[in-house]
Structure 1
């Protein structure tokens, strides 16, 4: 990607709707709203507000970047589906970045990133200086560093260093919390 590429990044993988507009190394605008639900309805208006605050239009974008999880099953699907649809409509690439990669961006390595997975569990990933990232079952003790960047900005910064590899996909580490409906299926009548 060009060093001065204009990237609109967003994430709805948790109880928030977040977006950032990055050109090169400069953040032109960003926003994050905490919300337990309603991300699907709020995402596109929030993206339009961030573009307006940055003085840019949809047609100015070079790429989209989206948080692919792990996180809330529905939230991840909202953002990834929006990124894929917008990328098709705008004819630009969409790049997926895991929230764990984004949280690790710019921090000293080796590093362990842990995200609350709710229900007393954590998503954990280790990042070594010379090794590929891998999942870990334990969190080693050591100094703690807060993320250097807000989540959507970090997603944009990671994506700026990546080459597009096809449409983004959700990064799920556990199944959906949703249960199938308990109502009986409809009866199909044979009308002869």
Structure 2
């Protein structure tokens, strides 16, 4: 099965073409752009397909990161994935950023449980723990830092993500939120498309609020 994986949930805009039969990434492209995913994504997809020697019509499944992450970026990726799937008549699946981070960490420390922790700002942390086999041990959630620290203190395993130093101050190094597109593709290959169309996973409301005082009355 040929899978096209998309990630626009963070600072990267990335795509990969993956052959699940041979467990091989045939092509991938990624740019660290911060913002402007909508303007760059189609070009990134074209580059990944070209490197893979595949045409879009040959893709049999779409996988996309659904968050948590950038509100705007997630919307761009999910909309593109659902659009591709509709046009091609193929299934599409969602992959969370937390499970992607945990899977990447398990490659570095096999046999260990993983706590994926993202600094969500506003004194909150996006959190989810996974077993050494990759099974989720709880639900993804946004929790206050104090609650996250208490949870991490009793967690027997590795911690990955930008919030790791907040949870265990003894941890040093460059902890960032990385969603490797090759791992998104592999997780997408294993996902169950019968679970429904991918939807954004925000965990909390947007920072931007409508300015009600300037609203124009409807007539």
Give the TM-score normalised by the residue count of structure 2: 0.74
Return the alpha-carbon distance in structure 1 between the equivalents of residues 209 and 28 of structure 2.
35
The answer on 1:65 being equivalent to 2:63 is: yes
SS in 2 for 1:49: helix
**Larger helix proportion, structure 1 or 2?**
2
Of 134, 137, 161, which residue of structure 1 is paired with 2:138? Answer: 134
Which moved further from structure 2: 122-131 or 172-181?
A: 122-131
1:1-192 to 2 correspondences below 5 Å: 5-24=1-20, 25-105=23-103, 107=106, 108-129=111-132, 132-135=136-139, 137=148, 138-139=151-152, 140=155, 142-143=157-158, 151-164=180-193, 165-181=195-211, 184-187=214-217
Q: Please tell me the root mean square deviation across aligned C-alpha atoms, in Å.
A: 2.5
Return the alpha-carbon distance in structure 2 between the equivalents of residues 40 and 114 of structure 1.
27
CA-CA distance at 1:48 after TM superposition? 1.2
**Would the alpha carbon gap of residues 141 and 132 (structure 1) be closer, same or farther in structure 2, given more than 3 Å must change?**
closer
**Uncovered stretches (5+) of structure 1, i.e. residues with no partner:** none
**Uncovered stretches (5+) of structure 2, i.e. residues with no partner:** 142-147, 161-174
Return the alpha-carbon distance in structure 2 between the equivalents of residues 185 and 116 of structure 1.
33
**Would the alpha carbon gap of residues 184 and 118 (structure 1) be closer, same or farther in structure 2, given more than 3 Å must change?**
closer
2:112, 2:157 within 8 Å by CA — same for their partners in 1? no
Return the alpha-carbon distance in structure 2 between the equivalents of residues 103 and 29 of structure 1.
21
Return the alpha-carbon distance in structure 1 between the equivalents of residues 15 and 122 of structure 2.
27
SS in 2 for 1:180: coil
Return the alpha-carbon distance in structure 1 between the equivalents of residues 197 and 214 of structure 2.
36
Give the TM-score normalised by the residue count of structure 1: 0.84
2:28, 2:47 within 8 Å by CA — same for their partners in 1? no
Deviations 1:21-72 (A, max 9, x none): 1112101111221122110111111111111111101100010000000111
In the alignment of these two chains, the number of paired residues is 184
Which moved further from structure 2: 61-70 or 29-38?
A: 29-38
SS in 1 for 2:216: coil
Which moved further from structure 2: 62-71 or 8-17?
A: 8-17
Which moved further from structure 2: 119-128 or 137-146?
A: 137-146
